Structure 1
């Protein structure tokens, strides 16, 4: 039996989650709810997705705008097993009483606090602890990337502590006309920035400190890490630990992927929906290891990276798949995720003459 899913909030993350749910062989998207009545929700109608009004004022606004509605949020909640709340920061917490009253399980996003759900989620790290729960929170885009990369090295017994600098995009591309940062860089006011403690809600034993800043661009985030290893190791050992982890894809400067925008363009050329990159893109040829220290950098597509984690969280809460690796494989296959975006180069002596 398919998991019946609703998405509350059809914005940057919500529309991507809705599309991903529709691709899953074991899920049905019953509908989406929102308060908007403009082009964003009309897009959902055009995709034959049932639209529900999230609030009473939204019902009136949608009716006035001529948006075809299937009912209210309460109507939607009465038909589903799991709701994914992708509403703006702090709104989801106010929706929890409605979800509890309807008896549905809920997946929240990283804009909510860990205290709101009592559980934070990244599939490769703690899938089992979410199985059967009523509520979880998929951590933010940057935190997700940290748990994937640093967790892979910690799981391999290689990571002692991590110190990172995060250069964050100023705003989402679709909202850049509403404001942002121009011709400057804005450091976050505290060290550590919130991403380090957030990662520890998933990996409590992770020794990590993060420093962050917002820069005047809208395409993805960049991370720069200095890692203290548990022992002297080779570059190959570090690479092998990362290659064994899911949802990390390797890119190379020597392929011309020398900046954030080049990888964004590659996703478009690969035909990714909306140019999405669900994987962490790690520069393989930049990674350096010196005895017990490693240095690496990677790219995070903030609009897309949490989508596969959200799909896995749906399965975990519903209890239909109890093994994390199985769910990850199902999600990754349906989305078409990769460990490499480009074919391996052919050496001269391998060519057929």
Structure 2
């Protein structure tokens, strides 16, 4: 029997805790432990799940001891048992961790806050799984970039994608930190055009002709994207929808079903029994989508806490190298995580 992939998660914040749960849901992976520095409720909840907790640093080990939190050792001990480590530490911290991963010749995954050049490879499963097979490392791109690549790749696979121009309304902060920061009663434009998401998408697929503009808005539920796409030829709306249906990670929805705002979509995820009400798919309004000749206009919602989690699971398989089919990996991840993007779209107004 083939041994499961032994996965370590370094950093148990917004993404790390979701990745840890997703790893535990996979039949071909084993979560061997989580490393962190926080002694607050997050790591205490982790321990109720029976997951070994490791101190990320020597000071963190002292802090855990002082707080009465039992640890299984330090990060170095955890890495010694892992096949792949997923680094979910805060932005720029991960880059400092890379030398110790490489010293151990350990495969590692970074998140989108780090620079592409650190790994030399950026990842979205439906776009470039095969190019990550057996690599030392990859970087799962940010939430907004993941959504951008997913939707544009669907159009590209259908031979419809010419050039794309997007406006991104970015939520100000994570919900659990909204009492510490964020913005109120204002909008904050990202100071450069293109915003960083367009160039970042080209680290996954250099052939994408994409420009993005972004603005921070005073809410914390999710991001909202508006896109204008020049198609390769005039088409009807149904052909475009069929292109999006080719992705299990694009959820087509309708405003007429009451899904007319971001909060309603999050409530749908809660009613579907999703852990933490997480939306793993790009939630795209099918009835809003408009085609005029060879021009396409559409909008969708992005859950920045969740969308990169299935991508991270697929990246683990790709680096491990035993699974060589992106399609099979995506199907396995989707099944384990309850991702069935087409179910609600095709079910019309019926209960999903």
TM-score range, shorter chain: over 0.9
Deviations 1:263-307 (A, max 9, x none): 011111111100001010000000000100000000000000000
Which structure 1 segments of 5+ residues have no match? 348-353
Contact 2:257 2:349 (C-alpha < 8 Å) held by counterparts: no
SS of corresponding position for 1:211: strand
Cα deviation, 1:176-234, whole Å, max 9, x if unaligned, reads: 01111101111100000000000000110100100000000000100000010011111
CA positional deviation for 1:346: 7.1
Please name the residue that 1:332 is paired with. Answer: 334
Listed as ranges, the gaps of 5+ residues in structure 2 are none
Inter-partner Cα distance in structure 1 for 2:49 and 2:262:
31
User: Which of 122, 141, 144 pairs up with 1:142?
Assistant: 144
**Candidates 256, 269, 272, aligned match of 1:270:** 272
Give deviations 1:149-172, integer Å, cap 9, x for gaps: 011101211010001100000000
Q: What is the alpha-carbon distance in structure 2 between the residues aligned to residue 62 and residue 108 of structure 1?
A: 25
Once residues 40 and 68 of structure 2 are traced to their aligned partners in structure 1, the CA distance between those partners, rounded to angstroms, is 10
Q: Do the aligned residues in 2 keep the contact of 1:250 with 1:341 (CA within 8 Å)? A: no
Distance 2:188 2:118 in 1: 29
Rounded Cα–Cα distance in structure 1 between residues aligned with 2:79 and 2:348: 50
How many residues matched? 347
Following TM superposition, the consecutive aligned residue runs of length 4 or more in structure 1 with deviations greater than 3 angstroms are: 340-343
Picking from 313, 325, 328, the partner of 1:323 is 325
- In 1, Cα distance between equivalents of 2:103 and 2:206: 32
Counterpart of 2:314 in structure 1 is 312
> Aligned partners of 1:245, 1:218: CA distance in 2, in Å?
27
The aligned runs of 1:100-249 (5 Å cut-off) are: 100-249=102-251
Match of 2:253 in 1: 251
Task: Please give the secondary structure, in 2, of the residue aligned with 1:182.
Answer: coil
Offset at 1:341?
Answer: 5.8
Residue 33 of structure 1 corresponds to: 35
- In the other structure, the counterpart of 1:350 is none
Deviation at 1:52, TM superposition (A): 0.1
How many angstroms apart in 2 are the aligned matches of 1:339 and 1:173?
A: 24
Correspondence for 1:344 among 338, 342, 347: 347
Which secondary structure does the structure 2 equivalent of 1:178 belong to? coil
Residues 251, 340 of structure 1: 8 Å contact kept: no
